[in-house]
């Protein structure tokens, strides 16, 4: 079973955002091993003991629909198993649920925790998973096995030559497997047409593939339909980036939905870690919700049915990414877990999925007239709508996608199959 995702948005009680932020930052310090042993530890979430969670985060966001001083809590997770199992584990590893969730409106105690979460959860419009057949545990075990064998080999490079290339892990086991996985595309198409309308589906799909002529199928489609990127308005950008200035709305109707009353935690870094996180909230222009949903449907269908392991249209740094239409379609939320720095991530996105970015965010206020081709303006747009996380957890924080690809190939070579069913392997933690 492929990993699943949960996104919760819960309104915070007036005046409770500051103490909640302090609690979340302490939990984030725990994950990074920064809190001293003699400090008071409750409340605490023992993410490191989880065997189901791949990635998780907490962030405090502005809640403009409830007022300029109101805030809401975002909890996002990618996990193995079903929702009941995830909520049971989350409840078990949290020392004091009330100290966190009790600061949110509608929470009535630990006994009703599951019902509270279900009330405030939101379904993803599109969800990409880099490795659909891997659990958090199997990824950790593959990494541990590789480290153990390398230690035993004591630098014997020839024994590892067969797994230095990721190709064996990226190739489907057979054409039959690929066909079976792709069969629901027809159902996806009819469902999208029924929900969004034929015109929006066709326009959305053509918008996405306009810059993807490096793929023969899309190149033929673009030629047959005379589909292409619109001409640039200017070869230059008049945008200057000021990363020190507080973000402001880019045009009338736009919002800055990050909580700008507080500076990000000192631990919030985007350039010194193997893995990173990105949370974006943009405002969708009235009348464009169906257009956005059609684009999301195309992305979700491709991600589930056609994308090879570890690659989303050539971008090989994304572990998980999802988009959600929230607040009755007025806002678009993106949550991504990726490798490397923010700059390199945005650069790769703009290079590999240029027209896809335009298809997603052109209906949002503030998106640059020349779209992702105007890279400085794109980065200003993203920075303006980005919200830092107070807590960010990864089950395998030092593993990039390419590391995982190599570890998967190595594990299959030395064990003959997935590691979930193998016994006698070292505990990865």
- Do 195 and 342 belong together in one domain? yes
Query: CATH number of the domain that 118 lies in?
Result: 3.30.70
Kindly state whether residue 358 falls inside one of the protein's structural domains: yes
Q: Given 93, 122, 151, which residue is the final one in a domain?
A: 122
- Do 16 and 106 belong together in one domain? yes
- Do 381 and 316 belong together in one domain? yes
pTM of the full predicted structure?
Answer: 0.88
Predicted local distance difference test score (pLDDT) of residue 422:
42
> Measuring CA to CA, how many Å separate 424 from each of 135, 141, 214, 350, 417?
18, 11, 45, 44, 14
Predicted local distance difference test score (pLDDT) of residue 270:
61
As for how many domains the chain has, the answer is: 2
Kindly state whether residue 274 falls inside one of the protein's structural domains: yes
Q: Given 92, 122, 152, which residue is the final one in a domain?
A: 122
CA proximity to 130, closest of 275, 309, 337? 309
Q: Given 78, 106, 122, which residue is the final one in a domain?
A: 122
Judge whether 79 and 109 are in contact, CB under 8 Å. no
Beta bridge partners of 271: none
Kindly state whether residue 76 falls inside one of the protein's structural domains: yes
Kindly state whether residue 25 falls inside one of the protein's structural domains: yes
How far apart CA 18 and CA 12 sit, in angstroms, is: 10
Judge whether 413 and 162 are in contact, CB under 8 Å. yes
DSSP H or E stretch at residue 283: strand 275-283
Predicted local distance difference test score (pLDDT) of residue 172:
45
- Do 271 and 209 belong together in one domain? yes
Query: CATH number of the domain that 224 lies in?
Result: 3.30.70.100
- Do 118 and 182 belong together in one domain? no
How far apart CA 284 and CA 413 sit, in angstroms, is: 48
- Could you give the 3-state DSSP secondary structure of residue 229? coil
- Do 102 and 222 belong together in one domain? no
Which residues of the chain carry a pLDDT beneath 50?
38, 157-173, 421-424, 426
Kindly state whether residue 334 falls inside one of the protein's structural domains: yes
Q: What do you get for the CA distance between the two ends of the chain, in Å?
A: 23
- Do 111 and 179 belong together in one domain? no
Kindly state whether residue 156 falls inside one of the protein's structural domains: no
Give the 3-state DSSP-derived string for 119-156, with helices as H, strands as E and coil as C: HHECCCCEEEECCCCCCHHHHHHHHHHHHHHHHHHCCC
- Do 375 and 267 belong together in one domain? yes
Paired tokens of 291 = 């257009």
Predicted local distance difference test score (pLDDT) of residue 236:
79
- Do 106 and 212 belong together in one domain? no
- Do 111 and 210 belong together in one domain? no
- Could you give the 3-state DSSP secondary structure of residue 114? helix
- Do 197 and 52 belong together in one domain? no
> 222 — phi, psi (to 5°)?
-65, -35
> 120 — phi, psi (to 5°)?
-110, 10
Predicted local distance difference test score (pLDDT) of residue 329:
95
- Do 371 and 292 belong together in one domain? yes
The boundaries of the domain holding residue 358 are: 175-234+259-389
Kindly state whether residue 151 falls inside one of the protein's structural domains: no
Kindly state whether residue 244 falls inside one of the protein's structural domains: no
């Amino acid at each position: 079973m492929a990993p699943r995702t949960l996104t919760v948005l819960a309104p915070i009680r007036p005046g409770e955002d500051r103490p909640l932020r302090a609690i979340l930052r302490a939990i984030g310090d725990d994950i990074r091993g920064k809190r001293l042993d003699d400090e008071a530890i409750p409340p605490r979430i023992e993410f490191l003991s989880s065997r189901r969670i791949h990635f998780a985060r907490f962030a405090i966001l502005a809640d403009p629909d409830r007022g300029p001083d109101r805030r809401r809590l975002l909890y996002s997770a990618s996990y193995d198993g079903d929702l009941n199992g995830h909520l049971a584990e989350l409840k078990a590893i949290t020392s004091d649920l009330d100290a966190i969730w009790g600061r949110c409106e509608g929470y009535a105690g630990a006994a009703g925790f599951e019902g509270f979460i279900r009330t405030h959860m939101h379904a993803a419009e599109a969800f990409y998973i880099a490795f659909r057949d891997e659990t958090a545990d199997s990824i950790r075990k593959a990494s541990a096995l590789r480290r153990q064998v390398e230690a035993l080999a004591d630098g014997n490079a020839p024994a590892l030559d067969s797994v230095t290339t990721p190709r064996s892990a990226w190739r489907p086991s057979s054409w039959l497997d690929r066909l079976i996985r792709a069969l629901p595309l027809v159902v996806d198409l009819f469902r999208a047409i029924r929900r969004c309308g034929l015109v929006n589906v066709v326009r959305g799909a053509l918008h996405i593939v306009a810059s993807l002529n490096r793929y023969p199928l899309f190149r033929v489609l673009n030629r047959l339909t005379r589909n292409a990127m619109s001409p640039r308005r200017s070869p230059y950008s008049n945008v200057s980036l000021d990363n020190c200035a507080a973000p402001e709305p880019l045009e009338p109707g736009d919002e800055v939905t990050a909580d700008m009353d507080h500076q990000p935690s000192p631990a919030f870094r985007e350039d010194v870690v193997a893995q990173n996180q990105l949370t974006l909230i943009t405002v969708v222009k009235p009348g464009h919700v169906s257009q956005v949903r059609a684009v999301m449907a195309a992305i979700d269908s491709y991600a589930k049915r056609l994308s090879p392991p570890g690659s989303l249209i050539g971008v090989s740094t994304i572990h998980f990414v999802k988009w959600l239409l929230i607040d009755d379609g007025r806002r678009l939320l993106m949550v991504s877990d990726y490798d490397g720095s923010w700059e390199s991530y945005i650069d790769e996105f703009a290079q590999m999925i240029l027209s896809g970015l335009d298809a997603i965010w052109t209906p949002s206020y503030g998106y640059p007239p020349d779209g992702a081709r105007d890279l400085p303006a794109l980065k200003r747009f993203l920075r303006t709508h980005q919200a830092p996380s107070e807590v960010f957890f990864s089950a395998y924080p030092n593993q990039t996608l390419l590391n995982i690809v190599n570890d998967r190939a190595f594990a299959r070579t030395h064990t003959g199959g997935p590691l979930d069913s193998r016994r006698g392997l070292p505990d990865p933690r």
